[in-house]
Amino acid sequence: MPAVGTNVIRKEGAEKLCGRAKFIDDLSFPDCLHGVTLRSTIPFGRIKKVSFDPSFPWDECTVATARDIPGKNAVQHIETDQPLLVGERVMHPMEPILLVAHPSRQKAYEALRHITVDYEEYDPVLTPEDSVALKAVLRAPDNLFKDVRIDKGDIAAGFAAADIVVEGEYRVPHQEQAYIEPNGMAAWLEPDGTLVAKGSMQCPYYVHKALMLLFNLPAEKVRVIQAVTGGAFGGKEDYPSVIGGHAALLAWKSRRPVKIIYDRPEDMASTSKRHPAVVRHRTGLTRDGRLLAQDIDVLFDGGAYSTMSPVVLSRGAIHASGAYACPNVRIRARAAATNSVPNGAYRGFGVPQTLFAAELHMDRIAEALRMDPAELRRRNLLREGSSTATGQVLRHSVGAADALDACLRRSRYAQKRKACAAWNKRSRNPTWRGTGLSFAYHGAGFTGGGEVFYASKAGLALDADGGVRVLAASTEMGQGEATVFAQIAADALGVPYGWVETETPDTSKVPNSGPTVASRTTMIVGRLVERAARQLKAELEEAAGKVPKSRPAWLKAVRRFLDGRPSREVICQYERPPGQQWDEKTYRGDAYGSFAYAAVVVDLEVDKLTYEVKVTRVTTAFELGRAIHPLFAEGQIIGGLTQGLGYALTENPVYKRGVMVNPHFTDYVIPTSMDAPPMDVVLLEKPYEHGAFGAKGIGELPNDTPAPAVAAALRQATGRWFTELPILPEKICKALHDDKL
């Protein structure tokens, strides 16, 4: 029976359900020390002096500073601008200055209170606007981590031909990933000198590369192992290289295992988040709603160091025009340095910011044209043969129109809009109601030439005991990687799902299949697993005839095939599909192998007394190529939409002097079971020929859609445009009362 397309049981599910799955803080190590971090309390300045209280028993502690780093004091992300520990210059609040380890976690924290830091403070740059105005130079010459320009057609001619021009400005804040397991990492030295780090992470080979640079070690002397990871959502893409470096440095100095586990406030205040952004649109159209020109300006607050900002910005910029075909497009996108905690990866990776602007702007255009928002979208939607802002011509698996129509039908969008309008006319009703639509697309896999550059490898091993193990560095973090890879391998090899296991990512055992990011795991890495399994099948068939169906016959065939070898590994490497091209200099070409498409309709009501917003239903249709595991796909979609609703309505990170001042679940409010509405998910399949069994990546797409649909629904409910997130009750109250003054 094929496994692909069915809801097989989660591989690691029973362990998780019985409390047996070992997250990093569940593991104990002999003679382990607990590491803690002394952090800067100012946004910008210079350390003059660090003093240690002589009455504290420092001989019980290991203290590590930048001077103890044997290699380069730099965290390897895309660049190496971020130091592991402050040398002298402080660039943001919560910046790590030194590390303390002690056998007791409590004592380690106590030690921090006996250290005093004297600073010379500089005037900080706290907004991206101040940064691009060069209020101070944080990063020569222009304070920019990246400056993207996308040009298509002739923008001036487009505006000249337009009957109508609509302008708008949109603002979005930080967003915290809010995985329930905080960041944590352990490190130790093996007797042979190998440096080992184990912990909660998305990208073992990122940490591996970072440790090589920090400790000046060759690849084979560094080993990185993923522990069971309690949610990540991008928040464990770049940061584990920092905390992993810290744990490793303390282990290196103390010669003992060291564990660093952040508590919630430290995790929220000091790790990277979604970039805040300001997006401006100027759009020219014909009277009947055809897009003629889109002029878009995007400005991201990158924080103090580059982390992932260049690629987050790049993805945000490419998606900034929305899922529409427009002949003339100009996009300028910049990510600027500020003296705030660095921002980085969060599920959606730049797109929730720019799509909020693009989609809400479509609603404002529809209103200016007196046109139905769904009809305006339908007229401009990407179709087979359309070309995107980068000039990518979409040839296959373009399910945009299908997704829009399916969602409109399923949600009864048109009837609901009418019903809401009727409800809102009755002044005695206790609420206002609204229904809003948005549409999104999300490119799967790395942007542009990223997949070619990384040339990922993955495959599988067939062992003498008849076991099949998928070998990849892609991590299971709840999304279902271990299960989905086993499904793909089982079907491609022609064996039952139960015969295949997915190896835990460990750089000493698995090839580098690249980071677990960018909605690339199922589509790109899954495809490598599929190819390797087909190759292994061919080898098996050559040696032993047909792949046997019964276990005894299988074991016999495996023995004959292996012929005394302990196992056979087949590893495949990424190959660019024919015809795909990308020019990084001009931002022209095929930005992604393929896009997945989604429409969402949000129904909500606003309490007339408290201005609280209750989302009553979300309906969505996703065109995802092929659902390898429909239940998991639905789980990804519902989970992502819920994060998107939080972004729209409740998640309000308050920043003062470059740092989040509400780093708790008490005052940073993520949706609870009472806030999350019932959701109706429609899956549509238009297989993508270069994805595993036709699959396209959809991990991030659900985060892109809810916020603009919420704002559109609130427009209908309240008659006001809310162009800045989050849309809190007090903001609605103010908008309604300002008019009356």
Smallest separation, CB 96 to other proteins (Å): 21
Interface pattern 449-488 for other proteins (x via CB under 8 A): ----------------------------xxxx--------
Which tokens go with 70? 């044997």
Q: Which span (37-45, 158-166, 178-186, 583-591) binds other proteins, by CB under 8 A?
A: 178-186
| 149 near other proteins (CB under 8 A) | no
Q: Pick between residue 10 and residue 77 the one whose CB is nearest to other proteins.
A: 10
Q: Could you give phi then psi for residue 468, rounded to 5 degrees?
A: -115, 125
Q: Pick between residue 261 and residue 468 the one whose CB is nearest to other proteins.
A: 261
C-alpha span between 279 and 277 (Å, rounded):
6
Burial class (CB in 10 A: 0-12, 13-18, 19+), 384: middle
| 666 near other proteins (CB under 8 A) | yes
Smallest separation, CB 35 to other proteins (Å): 17
Q: Pick between residue 140 and residue 180 the one whose CB is nearest to other proteins.
A: 180
CB 624 within 8 A of CB 702: no
Q: Is 617 helix (H, G, I), strand (E, B) or coil?
A: strand
| Residue-wise burial string across 75-98, b where 16 or more C-beta atoms lie within 10 A, e elsewhere | bbbeeebbbbbbeeebbbbbbbbb
Interface pattern 200-239 for other proteins (x via CB under 8 A): ----------------------------xxxxxx------
Smallest separation, CB 52 to other proteins (Å): 27
Q: Pick between residue 150 and residue 604 the one whose CB is nearest to other proteins.
A: 604
Smallest separation, CB 67 to other proteins (Å): 33
| 180 near other proteins (CB under 8 A) | yes
Q: Pick between residue 9 and residue 741 the one whose CB is nearest to other proteins.
A: 9
Smallest separation, CB 103 to other proteins (Å): 13
Alpha-carbon distance values, 629 to 249, 328, 349, 499, 612 (Å) = 41, 39, 24, 17, 36
CB 289 within 8 A of CB 324: no
Smallest separation, CB 615 to other proteins (Å): 12
Which tokens go with 75? 């965290």
Which tokens go with 15? 């362990």
| 29 near other proteins (CB under 8 A) | no
Smallest Cα–Cα separation from 456: which of 348, 533, 531? 531
First to last CA, the chain: 68
| 670 near other proteins (CB under 8 A) | yes
Q: Which residues pair with 603 in a beta bridge?
A: 435, 617
Q: Pick between residue 632 and residue 693 the one whose CB is nearest to other proteins.
A: 632
Q: Which amino acid is at 454?
A: Y
- Judged by CB under 8 A, the number of residues near other proteins is 56
| 10 near other proteins (CB under 8 A) | yes
Q: Of 618-637, which residues contact other proteins (CB under 8 A)?
A: 631-632, 634-635
Q: Pick between residue 592 and residue 632 the one whose CB is nearest to other proteins.
A: 632
Q: Pick between residue 15 and residue 120 the one whose CB is nearest to other proteins.
A: 15
DSSP 637-693: HHHHHHHHHHHHHT----EETTEES--STTTS----TTTSPPEEEEEE----TTSGG
Smallest Cα–Cα separation from 374: which of 306, 434, 436? 436
Q: Pick between residue 179 and residue 441 the one whose CB is nearest to other proteins.
A: 179
Smallest separation, CB 205 to other proteins (Å): 21
| 30 near other proteins (CB under 8 A) | no
C-alpha span between 166 and 161 (Å, rounded):
14
Q: Of 234-293, which residues contact other proteins (CB under 8 A)?
A: 263-264
Q: Which residues bind other proteins (CB under 8 A)?
A: 7, 9-10, 12-23, 25-26, 177-182, 228-233, 263-264, 477-480, 631-632, 634-635, 638-643, 664-666, 670-674, 676, 678-679
